Every structure is written in C-alpha cells, then in structure tokens.
A and B are shown apart, each in its own frame.
Chain A
Amino acid sequence: MRRREFLGAAAATLVGTSEGRNVGREVSGSSVPPFRHAADFLLIPMDNRQSDHLKAYGVAYRALQRGAAGEWLLNYRAGSFLLPADSALQRDAALRGVTLETLSGADLLNVRGEIHANNMDSIPLEKAPKVAVYAPPAAAPWDDAVTMALQYAGIEYDTLWDPEVIAGRLAEYEWLHLHHEDFTGQYSKFYLTYSGTAWLARIVRENVQLSRTLGFDSVAALKKGVARYIRGFVEEGGFLFAMCTATETLEIALAAEGVDVAAQYSDGTPMDSQASAQLNWNRTFAFRDVELERSAAIASFSNIDGHQVNNPGRRQPLGAFQLFNFSAKIDPVPTMLVQCHRNVISDFYGLTTSFSRSTLKPGVTVLGEEPGASWVKYIHGDFGDGTWTFLGGHDPEDPQHQIGDPPTDLSLYPNSPGYRLILNNVLFPAAQKRELKT
C-alpha cells in the first residue's frame, strides 16, 4: 500500500474514534472486517513476555505473505500483532521460538476495550510489502543492520545496485533500504585513511568501472543520478528507510545538483570552495542550511551529524535516545515507527550517528531524540506520495562497529529494541487502508 492510501486509512481511524464508537460495535463492525470469531485469533505479544521480538516481525510478515489479514495493535503490549489462527502460523512461531497467545472471544473483547479507552489503536495489516535493499554486489567489510535484521527475521528481500536503480527497477518495490552508502561518491571518505587496503581498492575499481559502463563522468555523478532515482521512488509513493551515512550523503547528493562536493581523489577535481553556499535544499527530504566538511582527510561529510565520530575534537560521546510517545489514534504512522518494549535505547555510533536539530527542515517528525542534546536520532517525513525515515548510527547492538569487525549475531540479541525500530519500518508499509464508516 502506498502512502496516499495509508493516510486515508489513518483518517478513517480518526473519524471512527471521534464518532465515539464503542468497543462492541467495533469488534463486530466493519473496522475489523476479516475476523468474525474471536476464538480464531492468535496474539503475538511484543512486550517483555515475547521471547524473540525480532523473529516475531518475520512471523507476522510471513502470515501476511500467506494471505492472512492481521492487525497491528499500536501501543497495546508494546505493539503486538493480532492474526487469524492457523496451523502454519503456529508452526512458524514454534520453529522460531516466537511467543504466541491464543485469544478467546472474551479476551479479544477486553483487548478491543482497552485499545479504545487508551492511547492505542488497531491498524489493519494486509499485504507483505515487497522489500529491496540497495547494496553493492560484493560484500563490504562492515555489516548492514537492516540486512541482518531481515535475514534474522526471515523476511525476503531483493538486492539492488546502481544498474538496477538506473534501469528503473525501484518501481517494482514498496520499501527500499539504504545503509552505509556514500551518495557523494567519496567512498565514505575512507580513501585516505584506508589507502592501500585491498577492499577499498576493489570498491574504487568496481565503482569507477560501473560509472563508465552506465555513462557517467565519475562515481560522484553516478551516485547523484542514483539519488535522483531514489527521490523519484519516494515521490511516487515508495517507503524509504535509510541508516547511517546513507541518510546524510543522500541528502547532500540531492542538494548538490550541479555543485562539485566530491574531493579531488574521487572525481579528479577539488570540491568547490563555495559548495556549501550553492547547495539547493529544496530538493531534499530532511535537511537544510548544511555546512559541508571540506577536509578530504576527515571521514565526516557535514554538520548534519551531531556526533562526528571520526572528527577529532568534535566527537561527542554516546548517550541514550528516547522514543517519542505519539497519539496512536491521531498519529498512527509515527506511532507505528516507535513501537517498542523499551522507551529509552542506548545510542550507537555510525559514520552518521545523529542529526543536528539546527539542520532539520520544519515539518520533520522527530521520532527519537536525546533529551537536552543538540541532535536527534530518528526522524520521519512525507515527500510527494511517499515517506522517508532516517535512523542514525550503524549497528544498534555494536555501538562502535569497526571496519573488519565480524557481523553481529542477532540470535544473541533477540529482544534488541534498536533492531525493533528497523523492523517497525519493514511492516509499516503493510498497514492496510481501512474502509471509512458510513
């Protein structure tokens, strides 16, 4: 479901609530159309009684894939899922160690009553979104939190890279993820620090060859082209989720149309000395009035990142960020994105760890922030017919992930609140339009 349809659904929820529906009517009414007999339901609790929160998303996703229609019970037991009982679901949950609870008719009535009386809501889930991950064909020496979360949860995804994006294949997907990619074409500014390493030489070689093959003058030009396609994907109603440095560099690439923001080692010409002043932030999703980092030797791109992990003298220590408590009935979209069994989450570094408040555009929804700090962690917004969500940092369970570190074994973190935020984003596009009450 594209965003336009979802807003309709949210409006329907709002109208229903304002009309003062009572619980009994809602249960038997058209707002929960697929279900008739409460005894047929299974609840996937997402509070502390859930033994594996991350795999729970996969169980719900696969149920949707099999054609089941479910509900996401926002703020009810930390964002539980309600699904029709069937043996495939029970088998799947048992195999993966996911806690399930059966609900009797009376139980379900109580659940509905509790949801109605509190800051909670029920959002129908209908279709498992088609997921794409923008990732290079050869593995980079760092892990990708979203890919790991998808694999651990057992959610299917396709991998796309520049040729597929340029060929327009983004339109085949509803959800796109970007992780540690550098859309300024500067190889994450590791070019000088890791000069001589085999992995960097391979990445440079492959990117240069690809940019030539696809008809671009430089890698920087190719990445700007890819960034435009990604903006088009969102504009047309796609859901974009980006983490780490993909957030910051995508924005810079979009703002830098016609401006040289890449260091000499990348495109053969030095960065425009007036680059910051020439950037056009009308083209971007989230940020504005950004000052670029002009030193090619510092692995930092701009003042968007509040933590500046690789910028000696400006590096900020890690704290914890707090998720915002939205009104589920009025703001179902941000509410979905912050469903978690923990309200405060330990922070984690990335090449882009956080987002400076001073660079946020008006209208950006802050989903998670470090209270009192000059940066926020988790943001969301609309663009055209689609939405984007940015989460700073690289790996929620490896706060200081280094190049060459082994990938995180998520079976050791089955209840990771940070990874839950990622998976909220995957199920968010599954939310179904609810029919308007007549």
Chain B
Amino acid sequence: MDGRNARVLPAVIVLVVGSTSLAAQQVDGTELERRGLYEEALGAYRQVLQTDRTNVTAWLGLERVLGQMNRLESLISLVDSALTELPEDRFLREIQLRAWSSLERMDSLEAAAIRWIQVAPESDDPYRQWAFALARRGDHDRAITILAEGRAQLGDTVLASELARMFASTGDWPAAAREWAAAVTKNESYSMSAVASLRDAPTWARDPLLRPLTPPEGDGAANRLGAELLVTWDRAEEGWTLLDSSLPGSSRQAAAALERFIERTRRMGSADAARARGYALERLAELSTGQEAERARLEAAQAFADAGELGGARRMLERLAEVPAATPSDAGEAMATVIRVTIELGRIDEAQQRFQVWQDRMGADDVEDLRRHLGRAWIERGELARAEEILSSDTSIGSLALLGWVRLYLGDLRAAAELFRAAGPFALSREEATHRTGVLALIQRIEADSVPGLGSALLTLAQGDTASAVERLDDVARRMPPEGGRAELLTRAGELAVASGLYSDAEPLLLGALSADSAGPAAPVAEYALAVLFTRTERPDRAKQTLEHLILTYTDSAVVPDARRLLDQISGAIPKS
C-alpha cells in the first residue's frame, strides 16, 4: 500500500461505518414501529434524519408514527425546518400537503401549495398533489379547478390524466373521455388506465362518451382507446371497425395496438368478441412473419370457428395449408373445430373432404370423434352407405354402436343386434345407450333376421317424421307373427302415436298389440300407453281401470311404478306434473 492509499483508507472506513449505522437505525425504527413502540421509533427516525435530511424511509416512518400518535403537527415543524434548506424538494412538499390535509387545515394546505408553486413554477406536481389532497376529502370540484389552473399555467395537455380521473369521479364521462383522449394522444401507454377509468360508465353515458374517441372528433390513439373500450362493453365488432381504421402506420405500433385489442377480446366470451379477435389476429398475421404469423393464423382460425365464422376459419387454415412445413402442430385441433361446425351447418360433403385432407395432422381423439360426427350426420341424412364407409375403418365402441344403427336402418336386424351388443352399454351418451338398449330389446323379439321395411320405418322415425313412421311400423307389424314381434311393433307405434298426439291412430294400434299377445313383455307397456291415451282424451275411468289391470296383472313389470304414479295423479292423490 503506497502513501496515497493509506490516506484514503480511513475516510472509506468511516463512510462505510456511517452507512451501516444509518441503515441499522432505519431497521430499528421500522422494527420498533412494528412492535408498537412509537416513541422509540420516533427517536430512531429522527436520528436518521439528523444525518440525512432527505431520507425518504425515515420521513415516511415519521409520518406514520406521528399519525398514529395524533401528533402530526410536530411533523409540520420538522418538514418546515427541512424545507428551509431544501425548498424545492418534491417529496418534502408532498409530505407537507398530506400532513395539512390529514389535520383538516385546508387554509394551511392551500398556503403550502401556493408556496410550492412559487418555488417550482414550471412543475405540475404542486397542482397534482393539491388536487389529490382535495379529492381525498371529496372536494372533486375544487380539485378540478386547481388542475385546470395548473393547465392554464403550464400548457394544453398538462395534467390530462388527472383531470380525466377527476371528471370520471364526478360522473362527467364525456369530459373524462376528452381528457383521456388528450392523455393517450400524448402518451399511448396511458390507454390501460384510460380503459380502466372509463369502462364503468353507465350504459346511457357510453355513446356520448365515445364522441371524443371516434371520428371526426377523435383520431389515432383516441380511436384505438375507443376500440378497446367498445370491446369491454361487449361491442367488439364495432371496436374492430374503429381499430381497423385507426391502426398506426408503424408495424411495431400497429402490432402493439392489435395485441392489446386481442387480449381484451380474449376476456369476453361472446361470438362477437371471437369474430373481432379473428379479424385482429388475421391482421396481426399480415404484419408478422414465419412461425409468429402462422401462430396468429392458427389462433385466428380457432377464433373464427368459435364465432361460427366458417369462411374466416377456412381462409386462415387454407393459408396454413399452403406451407405445411410451417404449420404449427396444433393446427389440426383448430381444423377439427372447423369441421365440426361445418357438419353442424349440414355441409357434410365439404366437412368430409376437409377431414380427409387434414386427418393425418390431427390427434387420434379428434380423428375418432370426427368420424363419428360424420357417420352420424350421414345416418341422419339417410345416406347409410356413406355412413358405413366412414365408420367401418374405426373399431371404437362408439363407431360400433353407430354401425349398429346403420345395419338396423338397412333392415339387417341380426347384424344390428350383434353390433349393439359389441358396443355394450357405455358407448356414446347415456341417453343414446338407453335408446339403443330399448331398440335391442325390440328387435330381439322379432324372429326374422332381415326386415327392410322395419329398418326404413325406424329411419323415418329417426329423421323426425313420426306420422309416417307410425304408418310404416303398423304396416310391418301386420305382416309379423302375433307373438314374433307384432305386439312389440304395434306397441311401439302406439306409444309414438300417443306421444305425437295421434290419438285416433293410437288406440287401435295399442288394442291390436294386446290382442296379438296379451301375456308378452309388450302387454304392460301397451296398457300403460293406453292409460296415458285415456287420460289425455278425458276418459279417467277407463284409464283407472286399465292401470289397475296393469298393476294387478303384470306385477313384476318395469312400468308398474309409472302406472301407480299415473293412477295417483288421476285420483288426485298427488299433484299433476
């Protein structure tokens, strides 16, 4: 160590020791305050300030402790003393205003604010802090006057965000919107605060509020603020139109505005928001390149599909398909959604074509599910061969069940029964499984292996034409042996007729069923359907007689509890449901 270093070293050591001591006092002050030892904490903070007049932590500690001890007045004298040395210190001036405000000494507050303005005439801080002190006391009108005065002194757009918040607090939404428009035009990063401030405007105030944020009154950043606000009010499509016409020329700024807009639409669950998000993502994709662009297109496709906007979804996916190598791996998922929606719209051919092109890029679950969707759609349309074609390459229990329906509607009862059995009781929905079991029980009673007329009648029923289905079932039933399916088919036809209000058709069908086989499993079902028919046609005595016969004759039948319930309703024992 040379002589120069030897001289420097003691000073360094003193500084370090001094700093350590100051930090320790602050910690001590906070710890003492935390333990409720306010007097001791006060001493510790004061000691820090003797060494460092600008120590923010110590000043804040003093403010807290003296506030707790109801001795804020002594803070004023300390601050005044410090301000004689540091008259422009912003932090000390703020503490002074807060202290006068807490002491409810509004005259002193005003005098202190005016002194601050005099020593810092170029600063907007005195106006802001003065106005905030007034607003905290609920005097928003005076706060607005102070801020306006500050603006008059300092320039047109000064204190815009503060004025906007004050106007919003007083319910003057158009004025608040005008100020926010000025604030975001100056600095667009204010837009999040602006939306948060304006989104709670009541519905009646929204359109007047939008005027400064839409052409011709507003432009650029103000329009983009308007667009975001519209999304929060669930008017996303209007928002998109506004944003689309006001995107900045710079790609980077435009992308930032689009991303903010997209983020807001994600928080809204409506189809309108999904559609607007789709458009915004599409535009973002145009501004981007590579994987980023493809990712945006994929998300746009999903958004369009969610909105039921198939054209948009298709447009996005086609662009993706042009560059399969760049296609993100989850594009298949988005396409699966599009195909499902296409099926729901009844465009089965188109859906199948798209499925064939995309199935290699989809997950196994989506492929299986779409096959079933397509198969079911072809069945409902009556194109059984096409249904069989798409389903036959899948061995899942769901597809087996659907193939069972195909064979049933073709009249191939034996194959249908085998497929239903193979599918088991858990394939597809619970409701469909119950329906399948009922049909299985019906066809098992029929002796013939193939009855095309029955298949055709049941398909007619599945397609929603109950009246024709009843006629066809009746026709098929008459050609069956009495105990080899006739009673079951007539019962089914009768039940359908009762449910559809075809009462004059129902009675002979059900009586025919009972006449064909009064001891078989269909008999109690036919009697119950007859009782329902008698009830609906205002013949309660006959209904009662039929139900009593059913209950006493077929004691083990599954319809007995239903029969008892109907009997109770007819006799007024329970309310009619």
Q: Which A residues contact B (CB, under 8 angstroms)?
A: 91, 94-97, 151-154, 406-407, 409-411
Contacts and interface: CB of A to CB of B under 8 A. Distances in A.
A97 B573 contact: no
A421 B455 CA distance: 56
A94 B552 CA distance: 7
Interface in B537-577: 548, 551-552, 555, 560-561, 564-565, 567-568, 571-575, 577
Nearest to B576: A409
B561 A97 contact: yes
B551 A411 contact: no
5 contacts: A91-B552, A95-B551, A95-B552, A410-B573, A411-B574
Given A94-B552, A95-B548, A97-B561, A407 B567 contact: no
A141 to B, nearest CB: 14
A94 B560 CA distance: 10
Contacts of B572: 151
A152 B573 contact: yes
Contact of B551 (A94, A154, A409, A410): A94
A404 B240 CA distance: 48
Contacts of B561: 97
B565 A411 contact: yes
Interface residues of B, number: 16
Interface centre among A96, A153, A409 (most CB of B within 10 A): A409
B564 A154 contact: no
Contacts of B573: 151-154, 410-411
Given A95-B567, A96-B564, A97-B564, A410 B574 contact: yes
A381 B552 CA distance: 43
B577 A409 contact: yes
Contacts of A406: 575
Contact of B575 (A91, A95, A96, A407): A407
A135 to B, nearest CB: 15
Nearest to B561: A97
Contacts of B575: 406-407, 409
B568 A411 contact: yes
A384 to B, nearest CB: 35
Nearest to A94: B552
Contacts of A407: 575
A94 B555 CA distance: 8
Interface string B44-65: 0000000000000000000000
A410 B577 CA distance: 12
A152 B564 CA distance: 12
A95 B548 CA distance: 6
A153 B573 CA distance: 7
A409 B574 contact: yes
A385 to B, nearest CB: 34
Given A91-B552, A151-B573, 8 more contacts: A94-B552, A95-B551, A97-B560, A151-B572, A152-B568, A406-B575, A410-B574, A411-B565
A409 B565 CA distance: 10
Contacts of B577: 409
Nearest to A410: B574
A438 to B, nearest CB: 45
Contacts of A91: 552
A97 B548 CA distance: 11
A53 to B, nearest CB: 14
B540 to A, nearest CB: 15
A402 B568 CA distance: 25
Nearest to A152: B573
A411 B565 CA distance: 7
B574 A154 contact: no
A409 to B, nearest CB: 5
A95 B553 CA distance: 10
Contacts of A411: 564-565, 568, 573-574
A323 B575 CA distance: 30
Contacts of A95: 548, 551-552, 564, 567
A84 B193 CA distance: 86
Nearest to B567: A95
Nearest to A151: B573
Q: Name the 10 nearest CB pairs between A and B, nearest first.
A: A411-B574, A152-B573, A407-B575, A409-B574, A151-B573, A97-B564, A95-B551, A411-B565, A409-B575, A94-B552
B563 to A, nearest CB: 9
A219 to B, nearest CB: 30
Contacts of B552: 91, 94-95
Interface centre among A94, A95, A152 (most CB of B within 10 A): A95
Given A95-B552, A409-B577, A154 B565 contact: no
